[in-house]
Structure 1
């Protein structure tokens, strides 16, 4: 019986470990903030404009996203719904599974729960580590997900990264405040600039990942709110119980 339980737990943990570790590339830290409505709104805009042509969110509805992100329905319909979908429908696209398999070799995955599956650090690092690779069918590769079959859809924003030798900041001179650099090879460097600066692109990726974290668990904020109410109720209940207990035992020796 114990052996069966061990095998069952291993079958669950092993895939999750493989997903989290990926290529072994160091993942950058990303702290999501789903209470930042402006960030979520920008992330939703980026997702609809750059990701939704291939990826769906078949477990999310436009209306729920609009309400949670405080986007008026008319603005949602006008700016974030580009097909014939209605405000109350699921966030799907027009790409069929057969067409996706012909174009990409496999259907692009649904992204509703991707932040729960991959983790925000993985997504944040993944979207920032595409680089030119002429050996790949789509001309790019990725440090976090080697040989990925996805094009770098955000290239016009980030620009084109290459992998090679470049000057890398390794420390800061305490006297001048300037970066101390040294040449390192096998690192990513920006060979062609995009429409955004590196700082602006990192903010765009942050907002997009923040939005994906929200869609993976839309009830996060409500869950926290309910948890606080429950804890306050338990505190009041404890005080009442304590006072009642003291009153009941005060004449008993």
Structure 2
């Protein structure tokens, strides 16, 4: 019983991380064949996320080879601390200090698209808003009280949550929930920011399952083989039972 309780307690962080959200999620179309999108997503991850979040189960060279990134471009634009191309995508954040700075160690994001979903990540990245009561001055509607700064604010601008009103049954100003608006100070327009978040999600979907396209290709061949195999089995069965019937 003691071993079972210890195991359950050890799993609690993972269960909490994988818990669903009650907030309606926005759908995002991901396409692992869109190599340019994955390249842009990797650039966003390295420049804005890698300082805190590692991908210690994914290697630089594997990512480059799978997505058409030359080693020269990889070394010059996506590797900054003297790593080797065969190294895993990690950072230098001290493990002992991370919980002091953020309340808990920022999770590894190699498999985040499988733990969560692409829609969850896409909505989360677009749901930060100013909250002076939080340690980093921001909160998130999808992940309330998350211990993470809005590292993409320079791209999006300053997001503010306001009441969303509409006309209902001829009456104006009826509150219909809340929405997030930005002040226009970001480097990207709202449409460009959404597109950038799609690229980042596309990259995270790739790292969660780098062999997905190959698996789907092989799966098509396997299903085709099974269909043909079943046809021959049916003919064999008819021939075997012909005299019985």
Partner of 1:190: 182
Partner of 2:20: 21
Number of residue-to-residue matches in the alignment: 234
Partner of 1:216: 208
Given the alignment of the two structures, is residue 95 of structure 1 paired with residue 87 of structure 2, yes or no? no
Q: CA deviation at 1:31?
A: 2.9
* Local SS of the residue matching 1:97: coil
Q: Does the CA-based 8 Å contact 1:165-1:183 persist in structure 2?
A: no
1:192–1:246 distance in 2 versus 1, CA, 3 Å = same
Given the alignment of the two structures, is residue 50 of structure 1 paired with residue 54 of structure 2, yes or no? no
Deviates more, 1:111-120 or 1:94-103: 94-103
Partner of 1:229: 221
Deviates more, 1:88-97 or 1:183-192: 183-192
Which residues of structure 1 form unaligned runs of 5+? 1-7, 171-180
Q: CA deviation at 1:141?
A: 0.5
1:54–1:99 distance in 2 versus 1, CA, 3 Å = same
Q: Does the CA-based 8 Å contact 1:61-1:90 persist in structure 2?
A: yes
Spell out the pairing of 1:1-253 with structure 2 (5 A cutoff). 19-22=18-21, 24-165=22-163, 184=175, 186-242=178-234
In the alignment, the residues of structure 2 paired with residue 133 and residue 70 of structure 1 have an alpha-carbon distance, to the nearest angstrom, of: 41
Q: CA deviation at 1:18?
A: 8.0
Q: Deviations over 1:1-50 (max 9, x none)?
A: xxxxxxx9xxx9xx75983433x211112232212111111111110111
Q: CA deviation at 1:193?
A: 3.0
Partner of 2:3: none
Q: CA deviation at 1:160?
A: 0.9
1:250–1:60 distance in 2 versus 1, CA, 3 Å = same
Partner of 1:5: none
In the alignment, the residues of structure 2 paired with residue 150 and residue 169 of structure 1 have an alpha-carbon distance, to the nearest angstrom, of: 36
Q: Does the CA-based 8 Å contact 1:20-1:122 persist in structure 2?
A: no
In the alignment, the residues of structure 2 paired with residue 205 and residue 36 of structure 1 have an alpha-carbon distance, to the nearest angstrom, of: 14
Which residues of structure 2 form unaligned runs of 5+? 1-6
CA RMSD of aligned residues (A): 2.9
In the alignment, the residues of structure 2 paired with residue 131 and residue 247 of structure 1 have an alpha-carbon distance, to the nearest angstrom, of: 71
Partner of 1:174: none
In the alignment, the residues of structure 2 paired with residue 73 and residue 45 of structure 1 have an alpha-carbon distance, to the nearest angstrom, of: 14
Q: CA deviation at 1:159?
A: 0.6
In the alignment, the residues of structure 2 paired with residue 138 and residue 243 of structure 1 have an alpha-carbon distance, to the nearest angstrom, of: 69
